[in-house]
Structure formats: structure tokens, C-alpha cells
Structure 1
Amino acid sequence: MNEERWMVAAKKADFRKIAGQFHIDQVTARLIRNRDVIGEEAVEKYLHGGREDLYPPEAMKNLPEAAALLKQAVQEETRIRIIGDYDIDGIMSSCILLKALRGLGARVDVRIPERLRDGYGLNENLVRQAAADGIELLLTCDNGIAAADQIALAYRLGMRAVVTDHHEIPFRVDGDGKREYILPPAEAVIDPKRKDETYPFPGLCGAAVAWKLVDFLYRLCGRGDAAFGEFIEYVAIATVGDVMELKDENRILVREGLRALHRTQKPGLLELILQNQLEPENLDVYHIGFILGPCLNASGRLDTAARALRLMMAGTRQEAAPLAQELIELNASRKEMTVKGEEEAVHMVEESDLVHDRVLVVFMPDCHESLAGIIAGRLKEHFYRPSFVLTRTADGVKGSGRSIEAYSMYEELCRCSDLLTKFGGHPMAAGISLPEENVGLLRERLNRLCTLTQTDLTPKIVADMAMPFSYVSPSLIREMDLLKPFGNGNPKPLFAQRDLRPCSPRVFGKNRNVVKLQMADAGGRRFDAVYFGDGEEFVSYCRTHPALSVLYAPSIDTYMGRNTLQMTIRSYR
């Protein structure tokens, strides 16, 4: 077993009062407080928030000006080009803007950068190509905030630009250590992470920002609130797929988007759902994050994201069916390549002095560039350290990083910007380009400047509370469904219990990764339990440890028509 730090949340509130106000169990009240939802209004919004609780799009800086400019561009038949991105958020952002502007009668087309040829975001070639094509207005989505030089070039070539993005704002550090934030010189720059932004919630994905713009544009053009019904599924998919925190507005967007997905008639979405053997009415965050999302991302990784965009734009299921099948096949290839790449990367770390680094910088010259981010994520999970995977390309070395909670990857890269030709991202993830001769220098500097402690480098699991499983009831489990959707920033409830005796554990599954057993508490009460992981290791541990402490999630096992309470063991010791 890997070393872990177990902690129990100890956040204070009047749980009896909250439970009484909202007619919920005190356990549920504590779960809500543990998710930093404080105050009667916030709790009401968390539990029951709907579209009427969304913030007005015009509260976002520069958004009204951008909408007015787009309305004018539609009226004057200005040639508009959308510049998207090749991941799920960029695909959905592009889809929303393209469908909306076409529906308004705009002269508009779209270009999504090719991952291997163009790299991330707006680049000089895309700008020059747009000028050669007679484009008059560039509209970015899920990118552009770090493209000040490229947008300045667009203006020199006679074009204008509107930026919609959600990434961190680039900055320079002056001689006094103060940050100078750099915005691109566009007509309007919409990004909820702007340092002068007053919009209440900075955690939107790129597609949500694009949708906010369309929502206001529709109102300007007499379309009312039609943008919600037309595009909410795409916003939800992008929010989950881009791993945004499911807090505040994002909870509402995903909850409402899932409801729409349950009855969707959009040909591209419906075919992708059905061909993955899923039932639309049962879709949840898991299915977006681990089944549908990877299919959409696979097109941008191994082929072209334009293929996924065509699926989303398909007008009939007949048109969508072969496109959905192609994405599923691409994702299967991606999975196979990822497994091989992960095994190689782990071996490289374990068999070299990289194993002593607090920040992993792994150079895999022959790795497919599009898989670098996935493999970096797997390294981060395996070693619990910030991890970069770099690969050789025709334009130098490129790669991706994935981080841990205590390490702001984007800020640390800003301290190494002189070694990089291009970079961007978030605290938890980043993409970089650099000359090959700087790979060793980057590794050395990141580790020299790293302040992570051994405690920071030990995975932390936070349980909501210590609670005996005997307290769990079907009604409590159903009540906890009010906390959905679960995901990043809004985890599934997790409880702790000690002094449990494992009884008759049995290992199942082709990979020996499922264990079914019963657990007995100190009072002799028995209940069903299941563990997913290394089955043989768990059973061996049970044999040598007659009493366990566990972190668990309660559920109802409905297999073969049963409705039995079940403990799903997340961790043990």
C-alpha cells in the first residue's frame, strides 16, 4: 500500500439548525458545510439552485462590448473566424459559437489548431492564414489570453479580435518582484480570471464563457433566453471534461446539462452516447468524464479535433453515426498507446536519478505528443509529484504537466519562462514548448526552486466524518443524492470507521481487482462490503490484520434486483 495521510474534516457549524431549516439529516448538513457552503442563501442554492440563480452574463467585463461588436458584425456581414482548441472544452466552445453565429446569419467559419502542426492556441500561421482568407474579425474560444503578440499581428494585418478564454492571465515579474499582468490588445477580452474582473465566479470553463457571450448576444438580437436550451448540454460536457470545480454556477450548469442530456435529441451527442452502449436517461458525471469525454478528446490527440466538431455539428443521426464510430475507434487506439507510454515512463523514473526529484521532468523523445498530458497525469498519480512529460517534435520539445494540490504549476513555470518558447495553463496543469537543450536546465531549476515538503508529497485523503456504517439507511443515501453532481470540488461523501473485522473476503474479476466480503463491527453487526483495487494485496492484508480502519462510501447494491446496503471501501489500514 502507498503511504497516505488520512484526515477528518473538522469544520464547524450549527448542524442541528441547518438540518431543521432544510429538512435534512444532520449528516447531510455536515457534508454541505465540509464543501464550504456557508449561509442560508448559499445552502439553498447548493441544494436547489436552478437557471434563475445563474449570474447575468453582462456582469463579466468586456462581454457586453463583445456582444455588441458581434451583432454589428452579423449585420454588416463581416467575415468572422472562430479559433478554437483541440480538447473537449475547445471543441464545445467552438460548437456553441459556430452554431449560434450561423443561426444569426453571420459569415463565419472555424479553425481548430492541429495539435502536432500548430500547437496550442492562436499562432502566427493561423493569423496570417486568416488574413490571406479575407477574415476581418478573429474570435477565440478556450484560448487567446496568452496570445498578445499574435493578436497584435492580426491588427497589423488589418483584422480585429475578440478573446474569450478562461485560462490564467500571463504576467511578468519586474525588478521589485511585482507582477505585471498582460492582456492581449483585442477589442474585447473576456476571461473571468482577469485581475480586474468583478464577475462573482471565476471558475467557468471556456465553453461556459462562450455560452455566456452567446446568451447576451441572443438577447441583443431578440432571441430571448434561447441559448440555454440550445447549448446547455455542451456547456455541461465541457465543464466536466475540462475538470472544472463543481461549485457555484458550475453545479447548476452541470445539473441542468445532465437533465437535458437525459432527453437529448442532438444527433451527434445521441449517437456518441448510444454507440458507447449508454442509456441517455442514466448519464452521469462519470460517463462524461471517463467515456464520452475521452472519445471527443481522442480526435484532437490522434487525428484532428475538427472530426469531433463535425460530429457535434451533424444535422442527422445518419450523418453522425459513422463519425461517432470513428471517435470510439480512435479512443481505443489511444488507450492502448497510453498503457505502453505509462509503463515506459514509470520505468524511466524508477530506474534513474529522476526518482529522487520532487518535480518530475521526463523526456520521452518518441512519445506521441498528444499523449504527454495523459501520461503526465498517470505519473502524478503513481508517484504523487508534479510531473511533466516532454517529447521531441519537429519544432523542438513539447509537453504537458499535471500537478498536485500544493504546487501551482503555472506560477512555477512563470519563474522559468526564459527557458521556454511557449507555455500556458492552470495551477494543476500546463502545456509547454522549449528547445531541447533546455530540458535539463528546466528540470534543474524547477527542482531547485521547489519548496514542497515530504508532507506535501504524501497523498491526503479527507473523510467527511467518522460514522459507523450502522447509521447508514436507504433514506440517508437517497438524501445524499441532493449533493450531486459529484466531481472535482464536490467529492462524493466519504466516511471513516475503525475496528472492523473483515469476514470471508473473495477476489473476483479478470484482473483480480474486485474483492467482496462482509465487515463486522464491534457489536457483531455484519454488512456487505466491496473493495476495488489490488485484490490479492487486500486479502493478504486482511489475513494479517484482524481489525481494520477504513474510509468508505455507502451505496445501495441493486445487482439482480436486490436493494442491499453496501460499504465501498476506498482505503484501509
Structure 2
Amino acid sequence: MRWTLKPKPKEEKINELAAALQVSGTIASLLLQRGISSFEEARQFFRPSLNDLHDPYLMKDMDKAVARLEKAIEKEENILVFGDYDVDGTTAVSLVSGYLKSFYPNVATYIPDRYDEGYGVSFKGIDFADDNGFSLIIALDCGIKSINHVAYAKEKNIDFIIGDHHRPGDQLPDAVAILDPKREDCDYPYDELCGCGIGFKLIQALAANRDQTIDDLIPYLDLVATAIAADIVPMTGENRVLAHFGLQVINSDPRPGIKAMTHQLKKKTLDITDVVFIIAPRINAAGRIKHGNHAVELLTEFDFEQAQQFASEIEAYNAERKDLDQQITKEALNQIKENGEQNRFTSVVFQETWHKGVIGIVASRLIETYYRPTLVFTKSGDKYAASARSVKGFDVYNALEACAEHLEQFGGHMYAAGMTLKPENYAAFKEAFEKVVKETIAPELLQPELSIDAVVRFEEITPKFTRILKQFEPCGPQNMTPVFVSNNVFDTGYGKPMGKEEEHLKLFVRQNNSEGIPAIGFGLGNKHEIVKNKQPFEAAYCIDENEWNDKIELQLRLKDIRN
């Protein structure tokens, strides 16, 4: 890993903010790095409030979307809520359909089949709407590029409301309303909402017509927080407010489906990391292994016993997903080795039997071994389909755009994308992609970066310091958990590798005459030599709490160590 220390803000600014907030210089510095420079901004950051959410009608076309929905309700039209099969899509569909059904019965949901229909709005879904008398489709987390699909629906007298958060193309679909803060003609103050977040703004606008307040919508925030965590959108502005209150719902009164997935966990309070690693993969597993409908059934079920039944089915899909992911990762790594491609600028692998539902996860796994832009292809019908994942700082979407002549279709964003191509174009595309990346990637981006917020001394890690740090949560992109570095740290002699294959490192560390602090380094077992015989070393870490046998103790979660 290459360690990079974030630039320290100007001393006078640090002192000014520290005095205004009565906090340490390190805390003031962390806030300034996150763009927080005044008492008022700090108040909004540390005390998130639902009153800080923006008026949904500031979003372009929100008035049209609400008017069309109210007309549909008045005329007793059938409404189909359509969404993608991932966490963001299935939570968005569960949220909007759940809200509408609370006062209007003629609502159904539709999740496309990952294998039969692929990503986004499908002709099959529109035919389903036509065959079953639906005259309005609400597309969530997809649709911004569905120009032909919306035109096809129009021929069948089916209207579309699109709620998407992906980048629009040059042309917009001919829908009744397009809710997407990334539209160039949309002045909405925050443009980093996820698909489920857009869905929430829609029900917020509808709620105003029903004399409901934001408090009436709090029960839906467990879904929004789950989508924000899973979709890796910035943890700033509205996202952070929605995630903060959504976590409170998850921990106090979650919907039966979420409760069924989490009630057996030993951990009493779930944080955003638990949502990412426990709840999200299970919801995703339904669409990866079986069908996204199973996730919507689970998330909209009100009977706890029935929800438990759905949750155990999804647990089985998740176990299958894990097995597939391990097996395919192993095969893909072997393929890179056998082809002598260890030193390329990209990883592009293909095997026609690989399960389409896990190739995105496998791409992320390959990056753990070969840190470079990665594409994993499998066969899908008569085409090859791939998931792309990138490394920090490199826009894989732009790289794909430069190779578009070889592709049938592609979509996505900077760090993740999907595409299809004809089998005969695979070899040419593989070389074109390698060439584009080789010519455009900065060499340092091919080495994982450990971004460090501040240098601290152990004596600074007081109860007040850790109490304030805890209030930086929920953390995520643009508000990552602070990483600190301390110099001349030594292990008191209790350090040892741990785990089945001694892959982790457990230490008890001190600095000068400080009190000892327990430290754990996942995946750092091979660095045990560095800490032997009380040799001094540098430690990069997050400050963590370890919950064990109903006791909570402070510990350092080591990110890396070096001499």
C-alpha cells in the first residue's frame, strides 16, 4: 500500500474552528477536510435533522410525477412499480409500492429477470404491463436511457414516470416525468441520491398531498439506509441524514423482513458497515441466484413468521452465492496465471459457464490480488456479458466508452459498469481495453492507496476524542471513517498472528509511556516480523469499539503497519 497523508488545513482555520466548537485541533482538522468550516455546518453534521431534507418539489418534474400519480389514483388506474434486481432497485420498489399500497390497492411490482431480461427497463416488462391492464409504470433506479422502451410503451398507451440517479445520455426518454438530479436542467440542491433515495423524495412529495409529515415516513427509512449503504453513494448531505435516521429504524423498529435477517445476530446495535456486509449481500443474493422478486417479497412482508420463511430461503441463496464466488474467483485467478497476464494493466477474463449473478463480486475479488481495472465475462444467450470494477481514481466508464465500437451496449459509472458484446469481438475488445487503460491510467493508481487523515499521539485518544469521533458516523464515501497514523509504536510482547491460517494480527500496543491499547489487523498476519521484540513501527489505523461478552472496549483496527 502507498500511504498518503491528506493535506493539513491552515493552522489559523484549525484554531478558529477548534475554539468555536471547543474540540481538539485534530477533530477540527478532520472537519475542515470534510468541508465543514463553521459552527452551523458542524451542527448539521453532528446533529442530523429531518428538517434539513430539501423540498422534493425542487426536483425537476416532481410536480408532473405527482400530478400523474394523483390522476391515476383518481381514475383507479393500475400502477406498476418497476425496479432493478439489485439492493437499490428492490428497496426502491418495496418503498414506493409499500407507500402507495398503504392507501391505494391497484399497485403491483415488477423486477426484471437478471438472466432473461438483463438490467433496467425491459420490453418483456412492458408487455406484462400491457397484458395485465397497467397504464402507468414507475421505473426506479433505471430508465434514464430507456428511450426505445418508453416509446414502445407509449404505443401501448402506457405512461412512464422515471426515477433514476444514473448519468443521462444526450437524449432523454419521452416520459411523463423524469426525476433525476443528474439531469443538466435539474437544479435540485443534492445530486448524489441513490435510486431508493429518489423513490423517497417521490413519496415525500405525495405525502404532502395527504396531510402527512416527514414523521409519517420514518418507517420507510430502513429501506433507504440499506440502499445508501449498498450503492456506495457519498455519505454527505441528504444521504447522511437519511442513513442516520434509517439506522435508528433498523436498530429500533425495522420492518419484519429486515428483522428476520438480523434478529439472530449477537451484535446489539448495527452500524452502516453491518448493513453493507450483512443485510445488503442477502438482499442482493435473491437477484443473483434466483430472482429479485424474492427480495421484494421479503421487504414488503408484514407477518414476521412469513418473513422468517422468506429470510431463510434468501439465506440459502446467499450461501450458494458465496460458494460460487469462491470457486469462480479461483478459476479466474488461474486463468490470469496460465495466460501469463499477471503484469498487464487490466484483468479481462472469460468462461462461458460462470454464473452471471456473481461476476461483479468476482471482479472485486480479483482486484484484491491484481489491483487494476477488471472485467469478468460470461456467456449470456448468444452474447458475452461482463461486469466491470475499477480502482480508486480511475473512470472505467470512460475507458469503456473509448472501446464502444467493440461493444453491443454498456452502462454504469466511474467504478462499476456492465456490458455485452458479440463473441467474435471479445479478443479485439480485450486488447483495445488494455491499450486504453495503459495509455490513460496514472501509474500510482495501480497501487492501492491508504489515505490517512491525521498523525496523532496515543495520549490524544481520550474518551472525549472517541465520543466525538463516533458522531462522524454514519461513514461512507466523502466521509470515510478517519484513518490515523502514529509513529514509534511498539507491541508490549503479546503480539501474535491469529486465525485459521494465521492471516490476522493481534497486538497490544503502546507509544512512549502511554497506556496499552489492544489492536487487531485483519489480513496483516504476514507482518508479524515487523512487531517482534518490541521493535518500533508506524501504525495506520481506525479507532474502533470491540463488543465482546456484553463488554465494549476501545481497540485500534489496523489498516497497515511498516518499519
Shorter-chain TM-score above 0.5: yes
Compute the displacement of 1:546 (Å): 2.8
> Where does residue 175 of structure 1 map in the other structure?
none
**Residue 91 of structure 1 contacts residue 309 of structure 1 at CA under 8 Å; is this kept in 2?**
yes
**Structure 1 counterpart of 2:270:** 283
Name 1:105's counterpart in structure 2.
Answer: 104
CA distance in 2, matches of 1:424, 1:98: 26
* 2:484 aligned with 1:495: yes
Report 1:458-497 matches (<5 A).
Answer: 458-497=447-486
User: What residue in structure 1 maps to residue 557 of structure 2?
Assistant: 568
**Match of residue 7 from structure 1:** 5
TM-score with structure 2 length normalisation?
Answer: 0.94
Find out whether 1:508 has 2:498 as its counterpart.
yes
Q: Among 523, 528, 532, which residue is 1:539 paired with?
A: 528
1:133-212 equivalences in 2 (<5 Å): 133-170=132-169, 181-212=170-201
Match of residue 416, structure 1, among 403, 408, 429: 403
Describe the SS at the equivalent of 1:136. strand
- State the shift of 1:563 in Å: 6.3
Which of residues 496, 518, 526 in structure 1 aligns to 2:508? 518
Structure 1 residues 182, 348: closer, same or farther in 2, change over 3 A?
Answer: same
* Higher deviation after alignment, 551-560 or 444-453: 551-560
Correspondence for 2:384:
397
What displacement does 1:511 show?
3.5
Query: Aligned residue for 1:73?
Result: 72
**Whole-Å Cα distance in 2 between the matches of residues 142 and 536 of structure 1?**
41
Q: Aligned-pair distance for 1:182?
A: 2.0
Spell out, residue by residue over 1:314-346, the C-alpha distance to the aligned partner (whole angstroms, 9 max, x if none).
Answer: 121122111011111211111111111112222
| Whole-Å separation in 1 of the counterparts to 2:74 and 2:151 | 25
Structure 2 counterpart SS, 1:455: helix
Please say if residues 3 and 452 of structure 2, whose CA atoms lie closer than 8 Å, have aligned partners that are also in contact.
Answer: no
1:230 matched to 2:206? The reply is no
Aligned to 2:123: 124
In 2, Cα distance between equivalents of 1:36 and 1:384 = 30
2:443 is paired with a residue whose SS is coil
**Alignment deviations for residues 29-85 of structure 1 (CA, whole Å, 9 cap, x no partner):** 111112233444322211112100011111111112101110111111112212111
Would the alpha carbon gap of residues 560 and 160 (structure 1) be closer, same or farther in structure 2, given more than 3 Å must change?
closer
> Does the CA-based 8 Å contact 2:166-2:182 persist in structure 1?
yes
Deviation above 6 Å: which 4+ runs of structure 1?
A: none
What code does the residue aligned with 2:486 have?
A: Q
Q: Provide the aligned length of Structure 1 versus Structure 2.
A: 558
Cα deviation for residue 354 of structure 1 reads: 3.0
Which deviates the most, 547-556 or 448-457?
A: 547-556
Identify the match of residue 231 of structure 2 among 242, 245, 261.
242
CA distance in 1, matches of 2:504, 2:497: 6
For structure 1, which segment, 104-113 or 137-146, has the greater mean C-alpha deviation from structure 2 after superposition?
104-113
Checking the alignment, whether the CA contact within 8 Å between 1:520 and 1:526 is kept in structure 2 is: yes
Unaligned runs of 5+ in 1: 171-180
Asked whether the 8 Å contact 2:48–2:244 carries over to 1, the reply is no
Deviation for aligned residue 1:489? 2.5
**Cα pair distance change 1:343/1:525, threshold 3 Å:** same
Change (3 A) 1:555 1:129: closer
Task: Give 3-state SS (helix, strand or coil) of 2:516's partner.
Answer: strand
> Are 1:9 and 1:463, in contact at CA under 8 Å, matched by a contact in 2?
no
- Output the CA distance in 2 between the equivalents of 1:219 and 1:563: 43
Over 3 Å counting, the alpha-carbon distance change for 1:160 and 1:559 in structure 2 is: closer
The alignment yields a C-alpha RMSD, in angstroms, of: 2.1
Q: Give the secondary-structure state (helix, strand or coil) at the position aligned to 2:42.
A: helix
Amino acid at match of 2:9: K
- Kindly indicate whether the alpha-carbon contact (under 8 Å) linking 2:21 and 2:39 is maintained by their aligned counterparts in 1: no
1:226, distance to aligned residue in structure 2 (A):
5.4
Cα 1:528/1:545, change in 2 over 3 Å: closer
| Matching of residues 295-310 of structure 1 within 5 Å | 295-310=282-297
> In the alignment, what sits opposite 2:55?
56
Q: State the match for 1:82 in structure 2.
A: 81
Partner Cα separation in structure 1 for residue 205 and residue 309 of structure 2: 35
Q: Following TM superposition, by how much is the alpha carbon of 1:408 offset from its aligned partner in structure 2, in angstroms?
A: 1.4
Equivalent position of 1:345 in the other structure: 332
Once the two structures are overlaid, the 10-residue window that deviates more, 138-147 or 222-231, is 222-231
TM-score by length of 1: 0.93
Letter in structure 1 aligned against 2:427? G
Q: Kindly provide the CA deviation profile for residues 176-221 of structure 1, in whole angstroms up to 9, marking residues without a partner as x.
A: xxxxx22111111111111222111111110010110111012123
Residue type matched to 2:127 in 1? R
Question: Which residue type is aligned with residue 85 of structure 1?
Answer: D
User: 1: CA distance between counterparts of 2:223 and 2:547?
Assistant: 31
CA distance in 1, matches of 2:179, 2:340: 44
Describe the shift of the 1:129–1:520 C-alpha distance in structure 2 as closer, same or farther (beyond 3 A). Answer: closer
- Do 1:380 and 1:387's aligned partners in 2 also have CA atoms closer than 8 Å? yes
Compared CA separation, residues 552 and 149, structure 1 to 2 (3 A) = same
How far apart in 2 are the matches of 1:509 and 1:91?
36
1:427 to 1:535, Cα distance in 2 relative to 1, 3 A: closer
Residue deviations 1:105-126, cap 9 Å, x none?
Answer: 1522111001111110112222
AA of the residue aligned to 1:157: K
Name the CA distance, whole Å, in 1 between partners of 2:39 and 2:255: 38
Structure 2 stretches of 5 or more lacking a match? Answer: none
Mapped contact 1:498–1:550 kept (Cα < 8 A): yes
**Are 1:416 and 1:442, in contact at CA under 8 Å, matched by a contact in 2?**
yes
In structure 2, how many angstroms separate the alpha carbons of the residues matched to 1:420 and 1:544? 57
> CA distance change for structure 1 residues 48 and 571 in 2, over 3 Å: closer, same or farther?
same
SS at 1:195 equivalent: coil
* % same residue: 26
Distance in 2 of aligned mates of 1:539 and 1:341: 31
